[in-house]
């Protein structure tokens, strides 16, 4: 039977922990009561203030917040209706053809330069 009995050392820490929890609970209840008093005081104060003053305070906060809602992106000129004529985007076929021709001319010029260097620099 003595094997199953609890040691007397385990009860004081448990009792100490219970006392800590009870004191913590009392502190939290006091804090809740204090916050409830603050809420009731602010609601009473707002009920006492005249309506124009309350709206004035509200507009002050909204006007100061508006300056932070600024778009950083530049307006896209391609899709704006402010330009005088509305026309559809032109085809890029002509630019592509000219680009291919310029590319072929440069490749041919490079080939000619390599052939000329190979024939004149005798490796």
Average pLDDT of the chain is 78
Tokens of 41: 């005081």
pLDDT digits (tens, 9 = 90+) for 56-108: 655 555 555 666 666 677 767 666 665 555 667 778 899 999 999 999 999 99
Is residue 78 within 8 A of residue 89, CB to CB? The reply is: yes
How many residues does the structure list for the chain? 123
Looking at per-residue confidence, does 59 or 26 come out higher? Answer: 26
Using CA atoms, how far apart are residues 95 and 93, in angstroms rounded to an integer?
A: 6
> Percent of the chain scored above 70 by pLDDT?
60
Looking at per-residue confidence, does 21 or 70 come out higher? Answer: 21
User: Which residue reads 């804090």 in tokens?
Assistant: 31
């Amino acid at each position: 039977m003595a094997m199953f009995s609890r040691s007397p050392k385990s009860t004081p820490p448990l009792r100490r922990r219970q006392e800590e929890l009870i004191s913590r609970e009392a502190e939290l209840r006091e804090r809740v009561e204090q916050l409830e008093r603050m809420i009731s005081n602010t609601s009473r104060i707002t009920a006492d203030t005249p309506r124009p003053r309350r709206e004035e305070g509200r507009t002050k906060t909204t006007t100061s917040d508006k300056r932070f809602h600024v778009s950083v992106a530049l307006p896209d000129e391609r899709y704006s209706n402010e330009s005088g004529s509305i026309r559809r985007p032109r085809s890029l076929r002509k630019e592509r053809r000219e680009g291919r021709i310029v590319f072929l001319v440069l490749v041919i010029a490079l080939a000619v330069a390599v052939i000329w260097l190979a024939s004149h620099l005798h490796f």
